[in-house]
Structure 1
Amino acid sequence: MHTKHRLFLFFLFTILNSPFFIPNSAQAGLPDTGQTKCYNSGGTEIPCAGTGQDGAYSINPMSFADNGNGTITDNNTGLTWQKCSMGQNNDATCSGSAVTYNWYQASGTYDASYNPSTISVCGSLSLAGSGWRLPTKKELMGIVDYSIPSPGPTIQQAIFPNTVSAFYWASPTITGNTNLVWYVHFGYGGVVFGSKSYTYYVRCVRG
């Protein structure tokens, strides 16, 4: 496992176990990360028993249902996901190539330079119904499978085939700097923020 992957998981574990952290999806069932390994402070893998680390627990294991119409239901959160990345063919293997967009286009936000015609990638998606949107970073992290080592893709490929081991957009902006937004890397599961003008991949959600 890559060092930055381990550091990210330690940070995630610390936050999720903070007494001040109350997930919005607590009642729906926060999905397990899929992480199965544990490490000491030096980064060496150790037995998980008694460590209290994420890998020692399996609560609400990932569970998905393929609806057979290009959508996937997360049985823990109740969210409905686009099976294929935007730009791929809506078939069993998600054939074809995913397409990248800047954040303004992905979220349907007007910008004179980057989205003058107000393209709304998720908002205009018509796939077994409407109501699609760009996921939050927490929602997007909920489909990352941290048991899969880098270079990934760190996602269940039987459910979300042909996912790109790269960044996917999330919706929220950074507090105090609305020019920066979150995105999640499906090569190692990291959560990063950067400029809205970058071009990354998109998987829409509804619910």
Structure 2
Amino acid sequence: MNTYRFRILVLASSLALLSSLGLWATAVEAWWTPPPSSSCGSSTFPATGQTASYPPLLKITDAPVRDDGLVRAGGALSYQNNGDGTITDLNTGLMWEQKIRDSEGLHDVFQAFPWDSATPTIWDWLEEVNAEGGTGLAGYNDWRIPNVKELQSIVDYGKFILAVDPAFNNGPGFNNGPFFPSCSVAECSLTGPGDYWSATSFDISPFNAWLVHFGFGGGSVHFSGKTSTNFVRAVRGGCVP
């Protein structure tokens, strides 16, 4: 008997033995386990919100210009206020914390914290959000600080001040005079006129972290020292391992 035929007989005998012992499925699973299905769901990359085209003024060639305001790639910015202190992005599926005017309450638009400090930080604030009412904001306890790309996804580059959709900037409060009257989740949804922390550190210098600016000339992304004080907005959902 040649070596090849001998190996075939040994393999066949082994498979027959596994089958008789009920171990065939286990052996196949051990040999090849299919990759787990994704739990991330489907989402649409959002558009920037810019709808006006601004062609070059100095160009002298006939090369066509298809800038962002003309192409408008991505899903049109679309949000749903859930009526419970949260706002859902209908493109990405991310659920965002709604900011209000609440005299320094947990979701007050003017609340600001350092990323890292001996004083209360964004992480201490987030712990309170996840413990709010015993179950967390709106009944969820998996709120987190958004990464810099997630945070930039809610910038509306078609607006200047503030650079967000009206879903995040409406009603009385910040834009209603010097006294900033209180307003509830049913009355307003606000955005602070400045920088918002992301959870993303500046890799080459981890004493800094990335921020997204929503105030004057909003939409810029830059980094700052983690001990500086800035606004913060919580998010949940998305593709989290």
CA contact (8 A) 2:168 2:190 kept: no
Task: Pick the aligned partner of 2:154 from 114, 129, 143.
Answer: 143
- SS in structure 2 opposite 1:138? helix
CA contact (8 A) 1:154 1:165 kept: no
Rounded Cα–Cα distance in structure 2 between residues aligned with 1:68 and 1:165: 23
Rounded Cα–Cα distance in structure 2 between residues aligned with 1:96 and 1:124: 13
CA contact (8 A) 2:109 2:192 kept: no
Rounded Cα–Cα distance in structure 2 between residues aligned with 1:120 and 1:27: 32
Q: Which TM-score applies when normalising by structure 1?
A: 0.69
Name 1:166's counterpart in structure 2.
194
Aligned: 1:53 with 2:53 = no
Aligned: 1:89 with 2:92 = no
- Largest Rg, 1 or 2: 2
Q: Give how far 1:180 is off.
A: 1.0
CA contact (8 A) 1:114 1:197 kept: no
Name 2:235's counterpart in structure 1.
205
Q: Give how far 1:141 is off.
A: 0.8
What one-letter code is carried by the residue in structure 2 that aligns with 1:134? I
Task: Pick the aligned partner of 1:124 from 125, 128, 137.
Answer: 128
Bigger fraction of residues in helix: 2
Task: Pick the aligned partner of 2:114 from 102, 109, 113.
Answer: 102
Name 2:7's counterpart in structure 1.
none
CA contact (8 A) 2:152 2:212 kept: yes
> Residues 60-108 of structure 1: CA distance to partner in whole angstroms, max 9, x if unpaired?
00111111100011111111000116xx439xxxx9652110013xxxx
Identity of aligned residues (%): 33
What one-letter code is carried by the residue in structure 1 that aligns with 2:91? N
Q: Give how far 1:42 is off.
A: 5.6
Rounded Cα–Cα distance in structure 2 between residues aligned with 1:167 and 1:179: 17
CA contact (8 A) 1:123 1:131 kept: no
Q: Which TM-score applies when normalising by structure 2?
A: 0.60
Rounded Cα–Cα distance in structure 1 between residues aligned with 2:125 and 2:147: 15
Q: Give how far 1:202 is off.
A: 0.8
- SS in structure 1 opposite 2:206? strand
Query: Structure 1's 33 and 173: CA in aligned 2 closer, same or farther, altered over 3 A?
Result: same
Name 2:48's counterpart in structure 1.
33
Rounded Cα–Cα distance in structure 1 between residues aligned with 2:76 and 2:112: 30
Task: Pick the aligned partner of 2:82 from 58, 67, 72.
Answer: 67
Query: Structure 1's 130 and 163: CA in aligned 2 closer, same or farther, altered over 3 A?
Result: same
